[in-house]
Amino acid sequence: MSRRVVITGLGIISPTGHTPEQFFNNLMSGHSGIKRLKSAFIDQLSIRIAAPVDDFDPAAHFSKIQLTGIERFSQLALVAAEQAVQDAGLVLTESEYHRAGVYMGSCLGGAGTLEDGYVEVFKRENPRVKPLSVLLSMNNAAASHLSIKYHLQGPNITYATACSSSAIALGEAYRQIKHGYADVMLAGGAEAMLTLGAMKAWEALRTLASEDPSDPGASCKPFSKNRNGLVLGEGAAVLVLEDAERAVQRGATIYAELAGYDCSSDSSHITKPDSAGQTRTILNALRDAQLQPQQIGYINAHGTATLAGDIEETRALKQAFGAYAYNIPVSSTKSMHGHLMGATGAVEFMAAVLALKHQAIPPTLNLHQPDPECDLDYVPNRGRVGVPLNAVMSNSFAFGGTNAVLIAKRFVA
């Protein structure tokens, strides 16, 4: 069995917007969510910039009792999912519950709860931690809360493959529907790791961007000669995927068809990216979508602004697309919303889907000094409107070598 899969609902809580339209409008206008952190522990950091969701008020969405059992990353996921479900006009009957599921991605899950527990035990020598610490911090908590809230009795899985976690969640959810195991899936990712411990760990790895002296929002510079690292972010993005026939029958508004996906491993190095592995993934996704390379009109790049990562991705695009690579607009929206780790694949795929909807391409911000080795059309600094798009791609290439590529195209019944 092979069925078509469509996207009928979008929801997002991100550093650059709390609704899909606000998110995309801010990307198009070059609004950066990267800023100086206001956390109490800022004086203990060497790198003091990030892309926080600092205007999110949990009390506006959850009761005090609920908040005792729902960690920040799960809160973000629940709010994003509520948007997506409402956007899709999704109502499931009791007989449909077992044909609906949830796949989510997250790297650290309840990082804040884990860190608070360590502080209580090892620093304050408190023999007790919060009674719900395990339930708050477990990686699958967000997906489980979504399953319970919406009575999703089909597959419920959380993926943790570093930066590609939520892209793989989306791709595997697509396969569940395509091959007949489910009719509806909620899929995406959530991350909230802007904690002292997590940020100190990333500092130690020496992959974080230093603060731009003129403007913190200009600190992430993908594909630029003067780039020096990524900026950590937080947030959540959830999409509603449906069997196309079901969506058409119920009169749903369809954003796009999720038409292609592949995941593979570089199988070479734990941190160093490999263009050969990325190329394989791109070509396999194109094959799955039954598209030729020249049918892709826009690519949302992984584009982390690391020295090796941006060069290897450029090489992969050239290897996969040949000479046509120079004709494809490619942008890294991480330049504005930062790197949301386990949530970033879903955030960036949503940006690509909205580009398809609006026939507009968001820019790569802060690209004033292009790296000669990154010589493709990286849409520097200003978005483009009125661009005829029929198919778009989103790349996610992770530490550990786990690559994922998603392709969406305009839906024609």
Q: What is the pLDDT of residues 249-291, one digit of tens each?
A: 999 999 999 999 999 999 999 999 999 999 999 999 999 999 9
How far apart are the C-alpha atoms of 102 and 104, rounded to whole Å?
A: 7
What does the angle CA 347 – CA 349 – CA 354 come to, to the nearest 5 degrees? Answer: 95
Q: Is 229 left (phi over 0), alpha (psi -120 to 50) or beta?
A: left
Contact (CB, 8 A) for 332 and 305: yes
How far apart are the C-alpha atoms of 199 and 105, rounded to whole Å?
A: 20
Neighbouring CB atoms inside 10 A of 360's CB total 19
pLDDT of 301 reads 98
Q: Is 61 a catalytic residue?
A: no
Which ranges in the chain are annotated with CATH 3.40.47.10? Answer: 5-249, 261-409
Q: Which of 18, 145, 163, 263 is catalytic?
A: 163
pLDDT of 127 reads 81
Residue % of the chain over a pLDDT of 70: 100
Residues 6+ apart with CB under 8 A from 333: 27, 300, 347, 348, 351, 362, 364
Residues of the chain with pLDDT under 50: none
Sign of CA dihedral 356, 229, 55, 131: positive
Q: Is 145 a catalytic residue?
A: no
Residues 6+ apart with CB under 8 A from 267: 277, 401
Neighbouring CB atoms inside 10 A of 237's CB total 34
The answer to whether the predicted template modeling score (pTM) of the entire model surpasses 0.95 is: yes
CATH number, span 261-409 = 3.40.47.10
- 3-state DSSP helix/strand/coil percent for the chain, to nearest 5? 40, 20, 40
How far apart are the C-alpha atoms of 358 and 71, rounded to whole Å?
A: 34
How far apart are the C-alpha atoms of 367 and 218, rounded to whole Å?
A: 9
Burial class (CB in 10 A: 0-12, 13-18, 19+), 72: buried
pLDDT of 134 reads 93
How far apart are the C-alpha atoms of 226 and 398, rounded to whole Å?
A: 22
pLDDT tens string 64-78: 999 999 999 999 999
pLDDT of 123 reads 84
102-138: b (≥16 Cβ within 10 Å) or e: bbbbbbbbbbbbbbbbeebeeeeeeeebeeebebbbb
Q: Which among 53, 33, 381 has a CA at the least distance from the CA of 215?
A: 33
Average pLDDT over the chain, rounded to an integer: 97
Contact (CB, 8 A) for 55 and 35: no
Q: Is 302 a catalytic residue?
A: yes
How far apart are the C-alpha atoms of 6 and 245, rounded to whole Å?
A: 9
Q: Which among 36, 9, 13, 38 has a CA at the least distance from the CA of 23?
A: 13
Q: Which of 302, 337, 358, 374 is catalytic?
A: 302
Architecture of domain 5-249: 3-Layer(aba) Sandwich (3.40)
Q: Which among 279, 255, 235 has a CA at the least distance from the CA of 89?
A: 255
pLDDT of 99 reads 98
Residues in the chain: 413
Q: Which among 47, 58, 55, 42 has a CA at the least distance from the CA of 15?
A: 55
DSSP string, 168-194: HHHHHHHHHHHTTS-SEEEEEEEE---
How far apart are the C-alpha atoms of 253 and 240, rounded to whole Å?
A: 11
Contact (CB, 8 A) for 270 and 35: no
Residue type, 65: I
Q: Which of 18, 145, 337, 339 is catalytic?
A: 339
pLDDT of 353 reads 99
pLDDT of 78 reads 98
Tell me the pairing of strands 330-331 and 402-409: unpaired
